[in-house]
Amino acid sequence: MQLINEPKFPIVEIFESLQGEGANTGMPSIFVRFGKCNLACPWCDTNYNQFEQWSLSQILQKVRSFSVKNIIITGGEPTIQVGIALLLDRLKADGYFLAIETNGLKAIPSQIDYIATSPKAMYAKKYENRCIPFAHEVRIVVDEQDENVQDFCQLIESKIQANGYYLSPCEINGKMNLLQTITHLGLLNQRQNKPKWQLSIQTHKLIGIE
C-alpha cells in the first residue's frame, strides 16, 4: 500500500551482490544505490543522474526480498539525501547492518555501522577545508592524470583517522591502471616508517558481477 505523504528517494538500483572491494571484499550484501552527487568525477562509473523516485515502502519491500542482512548504502552520494535518517531508522529496526560508501565530505548519519570513504584527489581543496574525521576504511582511486596522488593520500591520512587505508586503480572502459597504482603504493609506503597503505581492487569488475 502506498501512503500519500510517504517520503521518496532517488534510487538508481537495488541489488544483491558480493562487496567487490576493500576490507570486506566478498561479503554478501544488498546494495542500495542512490542518485545524485555533490561531486562530478570525470571517470565516475555510476549514472547517478539516472534514477527513479522510490517510496520508503517500495525500498523496504525490495530490500526485504533478499535474505542477506548487510546493506551497503552507496550512490551517487548517500550523505546528501534528504530524509535518509527515516529510511535508515526503518532498516535498523529490521536488524540490518548498515555500511556506507561515501566521498567523505558530509557528515555520516548516526545509524551507519561501517564507513568506507573514497576521497577524491581532484577535489583536494574541499577536503582541506572540511571532511569526515573518521572512517573504518579509506579508499583512494588513483586518477591516471594525477601525479600528486601520494600528497593527497598524506593529506587524507592527517584528516581522516581510519583502520585501513587503500589505493585503488581507476577503471576506464574495462581497463585498470594497476601498474601506476602499485607504483604509487610502493612509493607512498616507502615515505613512511610504518607502511600503512594497501591495494584494493574492484574485483566485481574483473569477474563480471554486479
Ligand X SMILES: Nc1nc2[nH]cc(C(=O)O)c2c(=O)[nH]1
Q: How many residues bind ligand SF4 (CB under 6 A)?
A: 12
Query: Which C-beta is closer to ligand X: that of 18 or that of 57?
Result: 18
The candidate with the shortest Cα–Cα distance to 60, out of 37, 82, 29, 92, is 92
41 makes contact, choosing from ligand X, ligand SF4, none, with CB < 5 to 8 Å by partner type, with ligand SF4
**Binding site residues, ligand X, CB under 6 A:** 17-21, 31, 74, 101, 204, 209-210
Q: Which of 20, 22, 35, 76 contacts ligand SF4 by CB under 6 A?
A: 76
Query: Which C-beta is closer to ligand X: that of 150 or that of 166?
Result: 166
Query: Under the phi-then-psi rule, with left for phi > 0, alpha for psi from -120 to 50, and beta for the rest, what region is 124?
Result: alpha
Rounded CA gap, 132 and 108, in Å? 8
Which residues sit opposite 33 in a β-bridge?
Answer: 13, 74
Contact 39, 80 (CB under 8 A): no
Query: Which C-beta is closer to ligand X: that of 77 or that of 146?
Result: 77
Report CA torsion sign: 19, 22, 24, 25: positive
CB of 74 to ligand SF4, least distance (A): 8
Is 21 an interacting residue with respect to ligand SF4 (CB under 6 A)? no
